[in-house]
Amino acid sequence: MPGYGIDEGEDGLLEWDMVLGRLRDSHNYWLVTVRPDGRPHAMPVWGVWLDGAMWWSSSVRSRKIRNLRANPACTMTTEDGRSPVILDGAAEIVTDGAAIRAFLEATNLKYDAGLDIGFLEPSVNATVRVAPREIFALEEARFVQSPTKFTLDGRANPTTKPGG
């Protein structure tokens, strides 16, 4: 973040495991998609971190699903503005039955939701997987030292660097 007063060294950068914990533990997530006319659209969603991606679901008729069908680029953030995690990636609508069942199990475990597989009938609700390209995180209390960007390229360990 040149010119923003952020350290450019690596002292104080956040650890991947801590950031991953925030992604897993957040109760709600803000999802930002792009409308066909270019305006942003933000909505809260429940989500789970599963197999290296964020997963969530919504009605196939919802604005967010219609936006993603036209443009899969999206941003998801955790709900904590003091220690946020921001994930930029591309969404895909999942149709594989085994993957949908795994998402349903993870959702029921996390939210104690009691949902059954009928809830995720693809003609009614879309199951979405957002594969991250970049994840940015910081801590408000250590604003100058903590901004950390992780670049993911399919490897098990993301590349880490200062700033945004």
- Give Cα separations from 123 to 32, 118, 119, 126 (angstroms): 23, 10, 10, 8
pLDDT at residue number 145: 63
Give the length of the chain. Answer: 164
SS3 148: strand
Asked whether residue 115 is domain-assigned, the answer is yes
Asked whether residue 78 is domain-assigned, the answer is yes
Asked whether residue 101 is domain-assigned, the answer is yes
Asked whether residue 2 is domain-assigned, the answer is no
Asked whether residue 7 is domain-assigned, the answer is no
Asked whether residue 9 is domain-assigned, the answer is no
Domain that holds residue 45: 16-144
| Number of structural domains found in the chain | 1
Bridge partners of 86?
77, 136
98 contacts: CB under 8 Å, gap ≥ 6: none
Which regions in the chain score pLDDT beneath 70?
A: 1-12, 143-145, 153-164
Assign residue 46 the CATH number of its domain.
Answer: 2.30.110.10
> Structure pTM?
0.86
Asked whether residue 45 is domain-assigned, the answer is yes
pLDDT tens for residues 29-51?
999 999 999 999 999 999 999 99
Instruction: Read off the DSSP letter of residue 93.
Output: E
What are the E-state strand segments in the chain? 29-34, 40-45, 48-50, 53-59, 73-78, 85-94, 125-137, 148-151, 159-162
Asked whether residue 133 is domain-assigned, the answer is yes
